[in-house]
Amino acid sequence: MKGETTKVSVLVSLFNWMQRSKSSAKKRSKFRKFIDTFCDKTDYFTAIRLILPSLDRERGSYGLKESVLATCLIDALGISRDSPDALRLINWRKSGSTGGVNAGNFPLVAAEVLQRRQGMASGGLTIKELNDLLDRLASSENRAEKTDILSTMIQKTNAQEMKWIIMIILKDLKLGISEKSIFLEFHPDAEDLFNVTCDLKLVCEKLRDPNQRHKRQDIEVGKAVRPQLATRVGDATTAWKKLQGKEVVVECKFDGDRIQIHKNGAEIHYYSRNFLDHSEYDHAMSNIIEQNVLIDRCILDGEMLVWDTSMNCFAEFGSNQETAKAARDGFDSDRQLCYIAFDILYVGDTSVIHQSLKERHELLRKVVKPLKGRLDILLPDDGLNTSRPPGEPCWSLIAYDVNDVERFFKETVENRDEGIVLKDLGSRWDPGDRGGKWLKLKPDYIRAGSDLDVLIIGGYYGSGRRGGEVAQFLVGLAEHAAPNAYPRRFFSFCRVGTGLSDDELDAVVTKLKPYFRKYEYPKKGPPSFYQVTNNSKERPDVWVESPEKSIILSITSDIRTIRSEVFAAPYGLRFPRIDRVRYDKPWHECLDMQSFVELVHSSNGT
């Protein structure tokens, strides 16, 4: 069978060609030619899953991001961890003496290292063999096994082929062609079918002949559906204009995990936005769903959050996994998972996405019995929504004019929510759509009382365009100094990179460059006047050698502060952004920890 024997080298030629070509039409026709010539009609999936790796759900995750991949490759190549090539892989973002033009692009850095060890000749690996190796890589549980598999791959390929395999593992091929175009070239109904099934294998199997149209398929319980998404708008007036003449509901934009719940009797699935099945929610949620979703078969669309029973409010973003794990391990906690259903897509044996949102709201009301702090529904507050006790924040209402939208937005933001979503009550739910039926309005950067003047204590190298150059900073807060004394210690506080123009960023980096000291892997820690935690995420690539040499940045942030487990300061900021560089302010006038904590408490009302 021709698909079985097609070599990886042929696929790699296609990739190289597509990457070089500027014309989308030519990329498409080359892709068509490839699948017609080198794939068997009965098995397009074997090749297409390698061309669209981010859509392939047949194998689990590889558990290999760049840093782990670097150590596995070092071991697979059998090179010493402190050799220049190993350091090159570990420090792939950096340029400098061992660096080069590829800094910031892991596959290119890896190809550079591999080139010195692999021959030019292809090892003759077939696409089928590559898929088998990738299956093994995804199912292997430890690094030693992964290293072995990578070593086999290296033996059977050359550096060019290995570079593309690394890109497949990282699920980003950068071919300069959209997934939409690939689908369209494959079959005119491919994208539609993928959107309602999230199943690439099925798409490849059902749509073998591009001339034979496929009857539009509806969604099914048990098959993840590509979520409908929102378009961002700048302000309430623009949003209102876009929805002119429509009946509009405004809803709170909850900040959790977008989850589709598929209930089929006792079988319940939790599909994420990327169509992964989050079975870790099973333990904590499935009883609740079984008992309070009053119908055997349905699909709910909504947000999974964490409810804090002691504070009587939702917990900060990012605690879902921890809470699910605590529930599974039987730990006592004030925190529990809570699902907010804002839509319903399937009821009984019928898809209801073609009905209006208003009708779906009615269905939601009938199907879901709210249970405070565990399961709720997001319905407009028209007096019928009995789930909300008086005095609690309103999550949803019908807007009659732009002032209603403004007011709701202001209230939501004051309540520290993420923003609002405006929806046309007459609209259907479209899989994978971002066409403007849902509009999101988010606060840009709300000042945390005042700007926070923080000191740069370290730097992180960027990737891509800023590869090899510091592109982000680790900033710190000062200890509370004795009167008339300068602070002597600084606590790592947050990582910040956005807000400055390229020129402004260059100017700061140039000024600090003489004082940057590399954090030597794996030995040397930070200078003694910086207080950090043991969390490796806060290890910058360079430290500023002493605070007196550094510069203060004014940062603004989302007003919500989150308890920080990564940095030494007890709270971190969400979406921090540099407002300006304070060349005018001496280093010792940096905000101190005590004042910051007071600021947090006053803005939290505690």
Nearer to ligand ATP, 76 or 230 (CB): 230
Shortest gap between Cβ of 405 and ligand ATP (angstroms)?
14
* Binding to ligand ATP, residues 121-180 (CB under 6 A): none
Tokens 């696409």 belong to residue: 127
Shortest Å distance, C-beta 456 to ligand ATP:
27
By C-beta, is 180 or 513 nearer to ligand ATP?
A: 180
In this structure, is the dihedral angle defined by the CA atoms of residues 288, 291, 297 and 303, taken in order, positive or negative?
Answer: negative
Q: What is the per-residue binding string for ligand ATP in 48-77, x denoting contact by CB under 6 A?
A: ------------------------------
Decide if 217 contacts 192 (C-beta within 8 A): yes
Instruction: Give the integer Cα–Cα distance in Å for 477 and 454.
Output: 6
Q: Of 30-38, 189-197, 207-215, 246-254, which segment contacts ligand ATP by CB under 6 A? A: 246-254
Binding status of residue 249 toward ligand ATP by CB under 6 A? no
Q: Closer CB to ligand ATP, residue 221 or residue 378?
A: 378
Q: Which of 180, 213, 273, 563 binds ligand ATP (CB under 6 A)?
A: 273
Residues 6+ apart with CB under 8 A from 423: 248, 249, 250, 251, 357, 437, 438, 439
CA distance 497 to 474: 9
- Interface segment toward ligand ATP; rule CB under 6 A; list 247-255, 322-330, 519-527, 554-562: 247-255
251 binds ligand ATP (CB under 6 A): yes
Task: Kindly report the backbone phi and psi dihedral angles of residue 347, in degrees, each rounded to the nearest multiple of 5, phi listed first.
Answer: -135, 125
* Helix or strand (DSSP H, E) at 154: helix 143-155
When the beta carbons of 185 and 303 are compared against ligand ATP, the nearer one is 303
Question: From the CB of 166, what's the least distance to ligand ATP, in Å?
Answer: 27
Residues 6+ apart with CB under 8 A from 154: 76, 77, 114, 117, 118, 162
**190, HSE (Cβ side, Cα atoms, 13 Å):** 25
Q: Report the residue from 164, 183, 240, 254 that binds ligand ATP according to the rule CB under 6 A.
A: 254
Residues in region 330-359 near ligand ATP by CB under 6 A: 342
With binding defined as CB under 6 A, does residue 283 bind ligand ATP? Answer: no
Compute the least distance from the CB of residue 138 to ligand ATP, in Å: 25
Side chain identity at residue 521, one-letter code: Y
Question: Which residue in 421, 500, 573, 591 binds ligand ATP (CB under 6 A)?
Answer: 421
Phi/psi at 103 (5° precision): -50, 135
Structure-block tokens of residue 340: 């907010």
Residue 230 Cβ vs ligand ATP, minimum distance, rounded to whole Å: 4
Taking the complex as a whole, how short is the minimal distance between the CB of residue 229 and ligand ATP, in angstroms?
Answer: 3
Query: What's the min distance (Å) between Cβ of 274 and ligand ATP?
Result: 11
* Shortest distance in whole angstroms from residue 255 CB to ligand ATP: 7
CA 41, distance to chain mean position in Å, is 35
Applying the rule CB under 6 A, the residues between 458 and 487 that interact with ligand ATP are none
Catalytically active residues, by annotation: 253
**Cβ neighbours around 539 below 10 Å, total:** 18
* CA separation for the pair 30, 15 (Å, rounded): 10
For residue 267, what are the CA distances in angstroms to 223, 285, 297, 338? 12, 12, 9, 19
Q: Cβ closer to ligand ATP: 86 or 357?
A: 357
Type of residue at 565:
E
Residues 205-234 that bind ligand ATP (CB under 6 A): 227, 229-230
Q: Report the C-alpha gap between 342 and 254 in whole angstroms.
A: 10
> Which one, 210 or 497, has the nearer CB to ligand ATP?
497
Question: Which of 588, 585, 558 shows the shortest CA–CA distance to 483?
Answer: 588
Give the residue, chosen from 204, 378, 500, 512, that forms a contact with ligand ATP under the rule CB under 6 A. Answer: 378
Q: Which is nearer to ligand ATP, 240 or 429 (CB)?
A: 429
Nearest to ligand ATP of 283, 440 (CB atom): 440
Mask: binding to ligand ATP, 431-460, rule CB under 6 A, as x and -?
A: -------x-x--------------------
Instruction: Provide the token pair at 213.
Output: 């149209």
User: Hey, how many other C-beta atoms are within 10 angstroms of the C-beta on 112?
Assistant: 19
Rule CB under 6 A: say whether 388 interacts with ligand ATP: no
- Distance, CA of 213 to CA of 155 (rounded, Å): 43
CA angle 71, 73, 78 (to 5 degrees): 95
**Per CB under 6 A, 253 contacts ligand ATP:** yes
We find the least distance from the C-beta atom of residue 463 to ligand ATP, in angstroms, to be: 20
Of residues 378 and 478, the one with the C-beta less far from ligand ATP: 378
Question: What minimum distance in Å lies between the beta carbon of 241 and ligand ATP?
Answer: 19
* Distances in whole angstroms, Cα of residue 165 to Cα of each of 102, 110, 143: 17, 11, 18
Tell me how far apart the alpha carbons of residues 463 and 427 are, in angstroms, rounded to a whole number.
Answer: 41
Dist CA 488 CA 184 (whole Å): 61
Under rule CB under 6 A, residue 303 binds ligand ATP = yes
**Contact predicate 462/481, CB 8 Å:** no
Q: Does 242 bind ligand ATP (CB under 6 A)?
A: no
The residue (of 407 and 580) whose beta carbon lies closer to ligand ATP is: 407
**Site mask for ligand ATP (CB under 6 A), range 520-539, x = bound:** --------------------
Span of 60-68, 150-158, 248-256, 327-335 interacting with ligand ATP by CB under 6 A: 248-256
Q: Does 276 bind ligand ATP (CB under 6 A)?
A: no
Cα separations in angstroms, 107 against 66, 72, 113: 9, 14, 10
CA angle at residue 115 from 112 to 121, to 5 degrees?
Answer: 145
3-state secondary structure of 377: strand
Q: How far is the CB of 577 from ligand ATP (least distance, A)?
A: 15
Question: Residue 258, interface with ligand ATP (CB under 6 A)?
Answer: yes
| Main-chain dihedrals φ then ψ at residue 544, nearest 5 degrees | -80, 125
Nearer CB in complex with ligand ATP: 228/492: 228
Residue ranges binding ligand ATP (CB under 6 A): 227, 229-230, 251, 253-254, 258, 273, 303, 342, 378, 421, 438, 440
